[in-house]
Structure 1
Amino acid sequence: MRPRFLLPAIALFALAAPAATPAQPAKAGAQKDWSHNVVATTEGGFRMGNPDAPVKLIEYGSLTCPHCAHFAKDGVPPLVANHVKSGKVSFEFRNLVLNGIDGIAALLSRCAGPTGYFRVTEGLYATQAEWVGKIGAISEAEKKRISALPQADQFLAVANASGILALAGRSGVTRQKARQCFADKDKQNRLSEMARAAGAMGITGTPAFLINGEKVVAHEWAELEPLIRQAGD
């Protein structure tokens, strides 16, 4: 099945409606801050934290999902500060693309690589209403012009018009690098593979969470944190 985010650009407009930094040597006697340890996983996500943490949290999220943006604002900061930094919990984010605009944003965030991925994702969630709104405000004439471009240039034009290209640029994603990522079929296929994997687990909405490989019923931090603490007992 053709990935939904690879539709012609005109279909993208139907929606219109700090991450880790390189670790520094720990001072003698200081506890290691595991939030600086970020890697790409074989399953397609990006994981922050101790790879041997006793509690492994995975979030499937959409960058255009308001509920995911709410969790990014209210849940991720205490998750990192109180659980990930100590090494007790690792946090992996896997993109679950739900629409064309989401696909563009996901490709752009992943283009930042492990050193910038969480920073770009955080920025996208913090400004979600703004950049989605800018896409909705694109004129019909501009939509038509964008739709006539090659696919990678379509994605680049939408990213530029929405402001997310500039946002990613602050984490080292240049215009040229972004276009290369948008043209990379393997990167697009990886997003599709993650969506299929999520579907196989019965995940159809976002945000969705797994703790130590088991899907849990929680959508808010107040619901999720007790489950994390229970898994660590």
Structure 2
Amino acid sequence: MMKRALTGLSVALALVAAPALAADAPPPPVTAADHVLGQSTAKVTVIEYASLTCSHCADWHDEVLPALKTRYIDRGEVRFVYRTLPTPPVNVAQAAAAVAQCAAPGKFFATIDAFFAAQSALPTTGTGPYFERGVAASGRTRDEISACLNEPATAAALEAQVNGAVAAGVDGTPALFVNGRRVTDVSFAGLSAAIDPLLRR
């Protein structure tokens, strides 16, 4: 079912290999279409561009995001926005992102957590168990996911995220922006150094 979906992403993904259009441009504003942790009234917005096949992204979600959530997000100081930018193997990354996009309300982050947790086994188990784990976490049936994957709106939503990443000059994942400015040190300490002065203003 995964192979039938997301043909509309091909043009956007081709742009990723092209030179950055505006390396210092901020990412697009947060909208209702985004997947967000935290309160809309938070003083600081952290936007991440990540790929579900990126090992560095998996490490970041396992090691840094929980600390960020405890220290800032759960206190209402930061809202966290997840956006996709598929990396090799791109067909697997974009299909996994689509499954997450199709998750039931409130299940998006559980779905990406499941994909990240299953990522390390991909070389030995193949994509079958990987996608089974993601679908199981999505709160949807296989048929519901399959129907959603074939909806043009699913591909359009992911394509918009990829286009936003390209416009902001993102050339690798994970890429983090704090109030619209790219942060090169994406460790918890690096993010804190970017966040804390904004909270004091």
Pairwise TM-score range, normalised by the shorter structure: 0.7 to 0.9
> Structure 2 length normalisation: TM-score?
0.79
Rounded Cα–Cα distance in structure 2 between residues aligned with 1:208 and 1:113: 26
Contact 2:114 2:133 in 1 (8 A): no
Residue 143 of structure 1: aligned partner: none
Q: Could you say which structure has the larger radius of gyration?
A: 1
Note the alpha carbon deviations across 1:133-190, whole angstroms, 9 max, x for none.
Answer: 422xxxxxxxxxxxxxxxxxxxxxx5xx233234432441211111012211221122
- How many angstroms does 1:42 deviate by? 2.7
Query: Cα RMSD (Å) of the superposition?
Result: 2.3
SS in 2 for 1:198: helix
Report the more deviating stretch, 55-64 or 111-120: 111-120
Residue 120 of structure 1: aligned partner: 111
Rounded Cα–Cα distance in structure 1 between residues aligned with 2:180 and 2:167: 13
CA distance 1:2–1:172, change in 2 (3 Å): closer
- How many angstroms does 1:220 deviate by? 2.4
CA distance 1:189–1:132, change in 2 (3 Å): farther
Note the alpha carbon deviations across 1:171-215, whole angstroms, 9 max, x for none.
Answer: 412111110122112211221121111111111111111111222
1:80 to 61, 69, 74: 69
CA distance 1:105–1:59, change in 2 (3 Å): same
Residue 226 of structure 1: aligned partner: 193
SS in 2 for 1:3: helix
Note the alpha carbon deviations across 1:89-145, whole angstroms, 9 max, x for none.
Answer: 11110111231100110011111144000111112112211135422xxxxxxxxxx
Indicate the percent of aligned positions where both proteins have the same amino acid.
Answer: 28
Residue 49 of structure 1: aligned partner: 38
Contact 2:8 2:155 in 1 (8 A): no
Q: Does 1:69 align with 2:47?
A: no
Residue 20 of structure 2: aligned partner: none
CA distance 1:70–1:76, change in 2 (3 Å): same
Contact 1:94 1:194 in 2 (8 A): yes
Structure 2 unaligned regions, length at least 5: 1-6, 14-29
Task: Letter of the 1:226 partner, please give it.
Answer: A
Task: Letter of the 2:146 partner, please give it.
Answer: R
- How many angstroms does 1:226 deviate by? 1.9
SS in 1 for 2:83: strand
Question: What is the count of residue pairs matched by the alignment?
Answer: 176
CA distance 1:49–1:110, change in 2 (3 Å): same
- How many angstroms does 1:219 deviate by? 2.8
Residue 10 of structure 2: aligned partner: 4
Residue 213 of structure 1: aligned partner: 180
Contact 2:34 2:81 in 1 (8 A): yes
Report the more deviating stretch, 181-190 or 61-70: 181-190
Rounded Cα–Cα distance in structure 2 between residues aligned with 1:222 and 1:212: 17
SS in 2 for 1:91: strand
